Structure 1
Amino acid sequence: MNRLSMNSLSMSRITADGRTLATTDLMLDEDGRELLRYTIACALPEGQSLVGEVGGTRYRFDGRIGLAPDWLRAPLPEKSQRWVTACLLAHVNGYGVEVAISLRGRHPGLATDSAERQSYQQEEISFFGNVFKPLGERDELGDIGSRMYSCGGALLQLSCAGNETAFVPERTCASRNDCSLNFLGPCRDLTNLKGSVCKDASLEGYQRCQAAVNNLAGKSTLTRYDEVVTVFLQQPDFSSFYPLCTPLFP
């Protein structure tokens, strides 16, 4: 991800007229435009779209989830940056194969109905962080690290019980060696609650998720994130990515 371009984009309204995308270097190549597609899909609600033009070609970017509708009216606050980041990280796919996912969390834009919950029952990985801030720049939480964090869901831990090597974000990172995501372990450790990454868990998702980072003085501190997105998969996809784990639901 181009953090400098993302940071620049967040420093102003995403649009000046409600129709045209704000100027950004991310428009200049296909990778940047793909990142914009996911960013706007995460940030803006369904029915809202923006257009951008480069080299005489117009591109349309559609909203879908609505985690940061305030970006239409003002620069993106850091809390909203964290929500959009969690959504972006949840969409990362190390295999390049499109997979249907259900996103859950304590945000109105992540509300689900009974049909979606019934179809997507296999809890996978939760994500949090902030990719809008450049590396080494202190944010309002005091984090100066990578700000790309993940933890394994409690149901994933149960599914992979007895096989800790399988308890990793396989869908997101096809190769663990070159994965930029910092996997912190179980979100809610059912075998050792004190070792849980997140201190608050409910049916609506996780909060008070902590990442240990080094501050500017070189000392390790815990940074707390409440903007957490959890991915749920359908059973066939879950079994494909986690073949050594037993699905909890048929």
Structure 2
Amino acid sequence: MAEVQQEVVVYNALTRNALTRNALTRNALTRNALTRNALTRNALMGNSLTSEALRDPESRELLSFIVSCALPEDEEITVEVGRRSYTFVGELGLASEWGRRNGSCGEKCQEWVSACLLSRVNYLGEHVTISLRGKNEALSSTRKERDKYEAPEATYYGNVFLENQRRFACLAPGETSIPRVCGPSTEDCVVDVVGDCEDVCDGPRHDGSYTDCRDREPLIELPCGTRIFPRGTDSYKASVSVFLE
């Protein structure tokens, strides 16, 4: 298989508050108004809910990361808020269909963008370069990237566009915490750390990423390797694994 040429190395500095406190509430970026319409300038500014929300700096911060995750690097959105213009630049292209005319963001789109957003939260709001990998063409990694960013951190998944946000992470083998995202403790983390990725996900894949992750640890594991999960366990096809230098 031919080696891809594009590296998936990005900055992370999305703050916890921008994701959880205001930006996806009735007072800011109304989730339904956002996902049911195209991720374009006309759709954003033509909807009174989203256009008014963009007066909030935390909403603009969140939108910048949504656009970065969803749209490819050759696309951008410029909006006018008050007397100022703001440009949001695409980068990864995990849900490029959202940016098309009459586009929208269904469950698959929401889960890919959510996994990307969760992976880019930084407890201190600092810029740290990370490598994102997963079962999506947009997350294909180069050998050079894998060699440089070889320290697995965690895998992120969920859906932040639901009324009750679903925010999960599992730990890479040998890890017990995620200081970049959670800070000094996982107890009050922006994500629910549900256990080791080897227990709750399938994989690892050739690039070290995990897929089909669940929101609970298994009840038991049978000798044949089959894991029995509690009733009500949800599984997420979209997940983003992060690697550090």
- Do the two structures share a fold, i.e. TM-score over 0.5? yes
The equivalent residue for 1:248 is none
The letter of the residue matching 1:228 is S
Aligned equivalents of 2:108, 2:95: Cα separation in 1: 9
- Against the structure 1 CA distance between its residues 22 and 112, is the aligned structure 2 distance closer, same or farther, given a 3 Å change threshold? farther
> Post-superposition shift, 1:71?
0.2
Partner Cα separation in structure 1 for residue 211 and residue 152 of structure 2: 16
Q: In the alignment, does 2:244 pair up with 1:233?
A: yes
CA contact (8 A) 2:41 2:79 kept: no
2: CA distance, partners of 1:8 / 1:168: 35
Residues 1:31 and 1:105: Cα distance change in structure 2 (over 3 Å): same
Instruction: Map 1:84-233 to 2 at 5 A.
Output: 84-135=113-164, 146-154=165-173, 157=174, 160=175, 167-176=176-185, 177-188=187-198, 196-204=199-207, 205-212=209-216, 221-233=232-244
Return the alpha-carbon distance in structure 1 between the equivalents of residues 120 and 206 of structure 2: 21
Tell me whether 60-69 or 27-36 shows the greater mean CA deviation: 27-36
Q: How many residues align?
A: 201
For residues 74 and 46 of structure 2, what CA distance do their matches in structure 1 show?
18
Q: Indicate the residue corresponding to 2:76 in structure 1.
A: 49
Please give the secondary structure, in 1, of the residue aligned with 2:179: coil
Structure 2 residue corresponding to 1:3, chosen from 10, 24, 35: 24
**Can you list the C-alpha shifts for 1:18-77, whole angstroms capped at 9, x where unaligned?**
9x7664144111111110111100000001000111111110000000000000231111
Within 1, Cα distance between the matches of 2:168 and 2:202? 15
**Superimposed CA distance per residue, residues 125-182 of structure 1 (whole angstroms, 9 cap, x where no aligned partner):** 11000001111xxxxxxxxxx410000123xx1xx5xxxxxx1111101143432310
TM-score, scaled to structure 2:
0.76
| Divergent runs of 4+, >6 A | none
| Paired residue secondary structure (2:178) | coil
Question: In 1, Cα distance between the equivalents of 2:244 and 2:112?
Answer: 20
Match of 2:85 in 1: 58
Change (3 A) 1:115 1:26: farther
Q: Is the 8 A contact 1:94 1:175 kept in 2?
A: no
Corresponding residue number in structure 2 for 1:243: none
Contact 1:21/1:50 (<8 A) preserved: no
| Residue 29 (1) aligns with residue 62 (2) | no
Q: How well do the aligned residues superpose, as a CA RMSD in angstroms?
A: 2.1
Counterpart residue number, 2:221: none
Distance 2:211 2:241 in 1: 11
Q: Which ranges of structure 1 fall in alignment gaps of 5 or more residues?
A: 136-145, 161-166, 189-195, 214-218, 235-250
Is the Cα–Cα contact under 8 Å of residues 52 and 60 in structure 1 kept in the other structure?
Answer: yes
